Amino acid sequence: MKNKYVPSRFNALSQTDDNGVVLYNSYTGAITYFSEEEKQEVLPSLKRAGTDILENEIQEALYNNGFLVSSTVDEKKRAQFLHQSQHRTDMMHLVLMPTEACNFRCTYCYETFERGKMNQKIINGLKTFVQEKAATLSSLHISWFGGEPLIAFDVIKELSESFLSITKENNIDYSCDLVTNGYLLTKDVFQQLLSWNINQFMITVDGVGEVHDHRRHLTGGGKTFDTVINNLLAIKEVQGSFDITIRTNFDEDTLPEASKLTQFLKNHFADDRRFGILFRPVGKWGGKNDDDLPVCSRTMANKKIWELTDEAITEGFSMSSMITDTLMPSASVCYAAKPHSLVVGSDGQLYKCTLSLNEEFNKVGKIHEDGNLELDYDKIASWVTSGEETDEVCQSCFYRPACQGNHCPLFRRRIGERPCPYEKRNIKKVLNLIWKNSIQS
Ligand code: SF4
Ligand code: SF4
């Protein structure tokens, strides 16, 4: 068969407000802007019939970025191979809960706070486990999670110092992120965390003043907004590279207040691109207040996420880098679906998912003091094989390389529907926003 250059099945395209286009390919991760003039060349080149030769620089750029592929390529095989690469044993991701206690009691929280701080036996077990794995690892990513992880700062310190030393000795790429409510994140604490390679943060702010305080108050009921914002303002003075996502969980009650929060954040952080916003709807995540939560309908949530993001960008405040990151190959796959990823509870219980901590199907093993893992591979298999391998719609989806049918295996298990991420469902709008955000830089 004669070779032709045809459009990739993993392309998505969006118009920009200046009459150009943004092209995205979920297999290569390329996101490329073409001006109105270039568009005249791009659109005909992407016709289904394809083109026999690459005639000009634009067509070469389309080919080099994966927007055009050779007609002899089996793209579904490419995606399948990418999915199989999740089984690489030299890459490991651990989600660690140095404590499962929290100083906040957020209205929508699903955690039960029955288990406190990680004890020395589990800390020793983790150090030994990573030491023993080190010889075969090329990369280790740690997500610090909780409870509120900063309550157990000493545990983070002890484990970080150990992991830093092991990864340095063994030439392992070591990276970390941390999810915190921000209350204990003083400038000093922040600088310590940076020194331990923890430089990606997610901090939730749900509104200005009382709106936030009402939803995200201290265990005893005290206010938290001023402390969190003052911490963020102090952090802004720190030099260097880090990335802070300010996450806003919205519901029917807080939606009318969202613009005030955008204005507030713009006034304080718009001049610093290290801070970006991420809007997400509050869900019934399994907490005791679920029945009373004024959650938005799915249609409304889908629409509002991007309207609010658009408003923030228009006001000059950055969109979280997490949104673009999530479009990259394999990046929309939840850690629960990855074979070499584990969640470690403060008592050494091993899980796959960070949400369903009390469900038996999520309790996949234990870590012991000597570093040995006791694992239930049948349970693990149920988390890592429920995506594109069996779902034919996922196999044909343009977003398959990014998501692999595995954006949220828990959603698929509980609801029985495909867990398509918000980004995929509104890809045209998202690509337009990525372009808009990039021209603000
Ligand atoms: S399976 Fe779903 S709920 Fe669980 S951690 Fe992944 S995305 Fe979150
Ligand atoms: S879950 Fe949705 S976005 Fe993910 S691969 Fe399947 S159809 Fe595509």
For residue 328, give the H/E element and its range: none
Domain finish residue from 48, 73, 98: 73
Helices 258-269 & 298-314 angle (0-180, nearest 10): 30
Residue with the bigger pLDDT between 111 and 121: it is 121
| Percent above pLDDT 90 for the chain | 87
Q: pLDDT tens, 16-39?
A: 999 999 999 999 999 999 999 999
Whether 48 and 148 map to the same domain: the answer is no
Record the tokens describing residue 328, joined without a space.
């990259």
Domain finish residue from 50, 73, 96: 73
What's phi and psi for 141, nearest 5 deg? -115, 130
Q: pLDDT tens, 146-196?
A: 899 999 999 999 999 999 999 999 999 999 999 999 999 999 999 999 999
Ligand 2 atom nearest to 412, measured from its CA: 1
- Return the bridge partners of 68, or none: 7
- Return the bridge partners of 23, or none: 13, 32
**Judging by DSSP bridges, how do beta strands 243-250 and 275-281 pair with one another?**
parallel
Instruction: Name, in order, each residue with C-beta under 8 angstroms of 137's C-beta and a sequence gap of 6 or more.
Output: 90, 91, 92, 167, 170, 172
Rounded to an integer, the average pLDDT of 301-319 is 95
The pLDDT value recorded for residue 124 is: 98
Whether 393 and 261 map to the same domain: the answer is yes
The pLDDT value recorded for residue 1 is: 67
Q: pLDDT tens, 370-380?
A: 999 999 999 99
In this structure, the residue with its CA closest to atom 4 of ligand 1 is 353
- Residue 272 pLDDT > 90: yes
Peptide bond connecting 240 to the previous residue in cis, omega within 30 degrees of 0: no
Whether 187 and 48 map to the same domain: the answer is no
Whether 206 and 99 map to the same domain: the answer is yes
Ligand 1 atom nearest to 407, measured from its CA: 7
Residue with the bigger pLDDT between 297 and 332: it is 332
Instruction: Name, in order, each residue with C-beta under 8 angstroms of 262's C-beta and a sequence gap of 6 or more.
Output: 277, 308, 311, 312, 315, 317
Quick check: CB of 401 below 6 Å from ligand 2? no
Rounded to an integer, the average pLDDT of 358-369 is 97
CA 147 to chain centre: 18
Domain of 435?
Answer: 74-441
CB 189 within 8 A of CB 178: no
Q: pLDDT tens, 192-219?
A: 999 999 999 999 999 999 988 988 999 9
Whether 121 and 53 map to the same domain: the answer is no
- Residue 273 pLDDT > 90: yes
Rounded to an integer, the average pLDDT of 412-441 is 94
Whether 123 and 54 map to the same domain: the answer is no
Ligand 2 atom nearest to 400, measured from its CA: 5
What's phi and psi for 226, nearest 5 deg? -60, -40
Q: pLDDT tens, 79-115?
A: 999 999 999 999 999 999 999 998 899 888 877 888 8
CB 141 within 8 A of CB 173: no
Q: Residue 203: name the closest of 174, 243, 176, 236 by CA.
A: 243
In this structure, the residue with its CA closest to atom 3 of ligand 1 is 355
Give exposure, 275-293, as e/b (b: 16+ Cβ within 10 Å): bbbbbebbbeebbeeeeeb
- Residue 289 pLDDT > 90: no
Whether 7 and 43 map to the same domain: the answer is yes
Whether 67 and 78 map to the same domain: the answer is no
Quick check: CB of 336 below 6 Å from ligand 1? yes
Q: Which of 397, 408, 413, 427 to mutate to test the pocket of ligand 2 (most atoms within 8 A of CB)?
A: 397
Whether 258 and 315 map to the same domain: the answer is yes
Rounded to an integer, what distance in angstroms lies between the CA atom of residue 399 and that of residue 393?
11
CB 14 within 8 A of CB 428: yes
What's phi and psi for 341, nearest 5 deg? -130, 135
Quick check: CB of 354 below 6 Å from ligand 1? yes
| Percent above pLDDT 70 for the chain | 100
CATH assignment at residue 382:
3.20.20.70
Ligand 2 atom nearest to 391, measured from its CA: 6
Weakest-pLDDT range from 74-78, 214-218, 315-319, 389-393: 214-218
Helix (DSSP H) and strand (DSSP E) numbers for the chain: 17, 17
Quick check: CB of 397 below 6 Å from ligand 2? yes
Instruction: Name, in order, each residue with C-beta under 8 angstroms of 355's C-beta and a sequence gap of 6 or more.
Output: 110, 285, 286, 410
Which residue has 């309550």 as its token pair?
151
Number of domains comprising the chain: 2
Ligand 2 atom nearest to 399, measured from its CA: 8
- Residue 303 pLDDT > 70: yes
Q: Which of 399, 406, 411 to mutate to test the pocket of ligand 2 (most atoms within 8 A of CB)?
A: 399
- Residue 220 pLDDT > 90: no
Whether 368 and 423 map to the same domain: the answer is yes
**DSSP letter, residue 137:** -
Q: pLDDT tens, 342-363?
A: 999 999 999 999 999 999 999 9
Q: How confident is the model at residue 262 (pLDDT cuts 50, 70, 90)?
A: very high
CB 329 within 8 A of CB 82: yes
Whether 158 and 129 map to the same domain: the answer is yes
Whether 45 and 114 map to the same domain: the answer is no
The pLDDT value recorded for residue 441 is: 63
Q: How confident is the model at residue 236 (pLDDT cuts 50, 70, 90)?
A: very high
Record the tokens describing residue 170, joined without a space.
């063994």
Quick check: CB of 421 below 6 Å from ligand 1? no
The pLDDT value recorded for residue 286 is: 78
DSSP string, 213-238: HHHEEETTS---HHHHHHHHHHHHT-
Domain finish residue from 73, 108, 125: 73
DSSP string, 376-397: -HHHHHHHHSSSTTT-HHHHT-
What pTM, to 2 d.p., does this model score?
A: 0.95
Average pLDDT, the chain: 95
> 64-68: which pairs have CB atoms within 8 A and are 24 or more residues apart?
65/23, 65/25, 65/28, 65/30, 65/32, 66/8, 66/10, 66/25, 66/27, 66/28, 66/30, 67/7, 67/8, 67/11, 67/23, 67/25, 67/30, 67/32, 68/5, 68/6, 68/7, 68/8
